[in-house]
Chains A and B, each alone.
Chain A
Amino acid sequence: MKLFKIGMPVFLIALSIVCFFASLNLPRANLGNANGPIYFPVGISIFLFIFSVIYLVQEIKSLHDINEKISELFSGRTPLLVIATLVLGAIYALIFESVGFLVSTIIFLGLLLFLVNGPKKWLVNISVTLVFSFLSWYAFSELLGVSLP
């Protein structure tokens, strides 16, 4: 928990430093003020750094305060659900164009429903998957004229 609490401000400080140097290294403009494109990102990076340091100090002061939400994130099925959703989403992204909308959506939604709703409710999961996949394909592709793979 402490690592998570401290981790965020430290990450933000590191991010602001990276952003600062990346902003300084941006190409200069050929038209108008050469430094025009860098002013804003440089300024933002500096302010982000300042507020991240204040945030770090605040977190250090309240290091022993319990954030129940952080505990909940690592308890029960939550970590599995979060990680599996992200992984399934990445797989969906990889197969979406090659396999096509309908098949990839049936696989993605079906697996997600089995994961979240549990295998015991297989009939509901399969019905919802098929109905919503076809319905969304029909609504977007046929009614709204969206070109789907």
Chain B
Amino acid sequence: MDAFLEGLMTSLQPINIMWIVIGGFLGTVVGMLPGLGPATAVAVLIPVTFGMDPVSALILMAAIYYGAMYGGSRSSILLNTPGDGSAIAATFDGYPMAQKGLAGQAMALSAVASFIGGIMATAGFIILAKPLSEFALKFGPAEYFLLMLLTLSAIISLSTGRMVKGFIAMFIGLFLATIGVDTQSGVYRFTFGIPHLSEGLEFLIVIIGIYAVGEVLYNFMNIDDDHKKEKKKVGKIWFTKEQWDRSKWPILRNGPLGFIIGVLPGAGGSIASMLSYTTEKQLSKHPEEFGKGAPEGLAAPESSNNAASVGALIPLLTMGIPGSGTTAVMLGALIMLGIRPGPLLFENQPEMVWTLVNSMFVGNIALLIINILLVGLLVKILDTPAKVLYPIIIMLAFIGTYTLGYSTVDFFLLLVFGYFGLVLKILDFPIAPLILAVIVGGDMEQNFRMALTSSQGSASIFYGSPVAVGLIVLTALSLCYPLIIKAFKRRKQQTE
């Protein structure tokens, strides 16, 4: 309780409120740029936290993260172009509302729904995080290895129809993670005599390369379509009583749903928002209005999506396991800041965790205000031509990369990974398994080997405890899940 109150006081310090507002605004701006989204926003803005004290940096990073989640839906509503996968559902009814001249109402409703979802999820975080971190303290190397395996398999299994590519992306990521000096034996692996690589491949370069440079290169394919953007009339920036009456229960229902989905490894905002949308359509008295500007069709996925983004922080902070591409980028940023997420974070630095949690409350309020009061400014930023924005993003990616290691060797790596990211996107490879594997690969190998060492080479350690068995079963289920769904659909088609 003391740590909670201390965290509350810290998050209410003027300097931290300032970082929350700045981070929330920057995250919203980059997150709403079409085709970029939260992962890119966090990746590009990581260098902004350098030189700051860890608590403020953590607060800023988190504000950028959920600011980007808010921002993702701005371009969905105004341009019918989602900032990322989790904002797709906002296009279904948000864009039709904007077409009817109700863009201001849609954005206000989306901001309020995100706010309520975020607040509910933060409350859920407070309830769930501590017991989960205490449970995770019982994990040994074998359980950690299996937990990482489960996270990777869950992410791959959700790459619908492209599981083989997901596995390939994961193995490439795992291989990249082996570059550098092996911490257990001191053996140099795949450094090719380049001293800069001896500490391993800086995973933030991979992240910035693939997410920032790769995304921009990919968006070059449609760069000349920029003029097709139509300007929307924003209209009144608040929703009507009727819109609120139709939305309030869907918002309250889908916040907890999104939170639970967010906690599950690999699931995240995209699934949460799509599931909420379909659920609300089934429950609605006006299902025929869905897709034509139904307010609850916008509010439900927005509440769920934002709650999922808070939920996704639970496995990240309590176990050090990111459940999505964006939280993987967040993990990279935290490690850069010298913060090692995991159960010990709650034991050793509880004030830091509770400051973060309390900053989420403050941050959600700040974002609600930003997203309503600054709608006009956000719309203007969204009008900035992509042809001007993309070169700036590339420049920021280079500067960010330089600040990581003060070496221009990293610039070449950035270009290699940027091009690699472009090729992966064109060939429809899922990116998240690769990023996740690069980040957890090192720990995964070390835990695997430590487990084998402690069991004197016996593989029985990987199924020697109930937790390990549970994790194996869940991994097997997650890999079988797409096959079960496929078989189920085939049977359904046959019976029809």
Do A and B originate from a single complex?
yes
A residues with a Cβ closer than 8 A to B are 5, 8, 12, 19, 22, 26-33, 36-37, 39-41, 44-45, 47-48, 51-52, 54-55, 58, 67, 69-70, 72-73, 76-78, 81-82, 85-86, 89-90, 92-94, 96-97, 105, 108-109, 112-113, 116-118, 124, 128, 132, 136, 139-140, 144-148
CA distance A77 to B164 in the complex (A): 32
Known: A55-B165, A96-B411. A8 touches B399 (CB 8 A): no
Contact A32 B394 (CB under 8 A): no
Beyond A73-B221, A86-B418, 15 extra complex contacts between A and B, CB < 8 Å: A33-B453, A36-B185, A41-B175, A51-B167, A67-B427, A89-B398, A89-B411, A92-B411, A96-B408, A116-B220, A116-B387, A132-B392, A140-B47, A144-B51, A146-B47
CA distance A30 to B164 in the complex (A): 37
> Please, which residues of chain B bring their CB within 8 A of the CB of A40?
174, 178, 445, 448-449
Interchain CB contact (< 8 A) of A41 among B185, B189, B221, B457: B189
15 contacts between A and B (CB under 8 A): A32-B185, A37-B189, A40-B178, A47-B167, A48-B171, A82-B217, A85-B394, A89-B411, A93-B411, A108-B398, A116-B391, A124-B388, A128-B388, A144-B50, A144-B52
Known: A89-B415, A93-B412, A96-B411. A132 touches B164 (CB 8 A): no
Contact B182 A29 (CB under 8 A): yes
Interchain CB contact (< 8 A) of A8 among B415, B423, B449: B423
> Please, which residues of chain A bring their CB within 8 A of the CB of B390?
116
> Please, which residues of chain A bring their CB within 8 A of the CB of B398?
89, 92, 108
Known: A8-B427, A81-B223. A41 touches B168 (CB 8 A): no
Within the complex, the shortest CB–CB distance from B169 to chain A, in Å, comes to 10
Interchain CB contact (< 8 A) of B168 among A55, A76, A85, A90: A55
Within the complex, the shortest CB–CB distance from B18 to chain A, in Å, comes to 13
Interchain CB contact (< 8 A) of B221 among A78, A116, A145: A78
Contact A44 B174 (CB under 8 A): yes
> Please, which residues of chain B bring their CB within 8 A of the CB of A117?
385, 387-388, 391
> Please, which residues of chain A bring their CB within 8 A of the CB of B50?
144, 146
Within the complex, the shortest CB–CB distance from B206 to chain A, in Å, comes to 16
Within the complex, the shortest CB–CB distance from A128 to chain B, in Å, comes to 6
Contact B428 A140 (CB under 8 A): no
Contact B428 A69 (CB under 8 A): yes
Within the complex, the shortest CB–CB distance from A146 to chain B, in Å, comes to 5
CA distance A24 to B165 in the complex (A): 25
> Please, which residues of chain A bring their CB within 8 A of the CB of B172?
48
- Interface mask (B383-411 → A, CB under 8 Å = 1, otherwise 0): 00101101110111011001100101001
Query: Across chains A and B, which 6 residue pairs bring their CB atoms closest together, nearest first?
Result: A29-B185, A93-B411, A112-B391, A48-B171, A117-B387, A37-B187
Within the complex, the shortest CB–CB distance from A69 to chain B, in Å, comes to 5
CA distance A29 to B189 in the complex (A): 11
Interface size class of B (residues with CB under 8 A): 35 or more
> Please, which residues of chain B bring their CB within 8 A of the CB of A132?
392, 395
CA distance A32 to B186 in the complex (A): 11
- Tell me what chain B mostly uses at the interface: helix, strand, loop, or mixed: helix
Contact A96 B402 (CB under 8 A): yes
- Tell me what chain A mostly uses at the interface: helix, strand, loop, or mixed: helix
CA distance A49 to B411 in the complex (A): 30
Within the complex, the shortest CB–CB distance from A9 to chain B, in Å, comes to 9
CA distance A70 to B425 in the complex (A): 10
Known: A73-B426, A93-B408, A112-B391. A41 touches B178 (CB 8 A): yes
Contact B171 A51 (CB under 8 A): yes
CA distance A109 to B183 in the complex (A): 40
Contact B453 A109 (CB under 8 A): no
CA distance A96 to B402 in the complex (A): 10
> Please, which residues of chain B bring their CB within 8 A of the CB of A109?
391-392, 395
Known: A51-B167, A93-B408, A144-B48. A86 touches B419 (CB 8 A): yes
Contact A51 B164 (CB under 8 A): yes
Residue B238 interfacial (CB < 8 Å)? no
Contact A78 B220 (CB under 8 A): yes
Contact A36 B395 (CB under 8 A): no
Known: A73-B221, A117-B391. A145 touches B51 (CB 8 A): yes
> Please, which residues of chain A bring their CB within 8 A of the CB of B165?
55
Among B190, B395, B423, the one with the most A-chain Cβ atoms within 10 Å of its Cβ is: B395
CA distance A145 to B408 in the complex (A): 19
> Please, which residues of chain B bring their CB within 8 A of the CB of A54?
164
> Please, which residues of chain A bring their CB within 8 A of the CB of B2?
none
Contact B168 A51 (CB under 8 A): yes
Interchain CB contact (< 8 A) of A140 among B52, B167, B399, B423: B399
Contact A47 B223 (CB under 8 A): no
Within the complex, the shortest CB–CB distance from B225 to chain A, in Å, comes to 10
CA distance A69 to B422 in the complex (A): 11
Residue B184 interfacial (CB < 8 Å)? yes
Of chain A, the residue at the smallest CB distance from B413 is: A93
Known: A36-B449, A41-B189, A116-B387. A69 touches B419 (CB 8 A): no
Within the complex, the shortest CB–CB distance from A116 to chain B, in Å, comes to 5
CA distance A77 to B226 in the complex (A): 14
> Please, which residues of chain A bring their CB within 8 A of the CB of B414?
89
> Please, which residues of chain B bring their CB within 8 A of the CB of A124?
388
Contact A70 B426 (CB under 8 A): yes
Residue B224 interfacial (CB < 8 Å)? yes
Of chain A, the residue at the smallest CB distance from B175 is: A44
CA distance A114 to B51 in the complex (A): 34
CA distance A89 to B419 in the complex (A): 12
Contact B47 A36 (CB under 8 A): no
Within the complex, the shortest CB–CB distance from B173 to chain A, in Å, comes to 9
Contact A113 B388 (CB under 8 A): yes
- Interface mask (B307-323 → A, CB under 8 Å = 1, otherwise 0): 00000000000000000
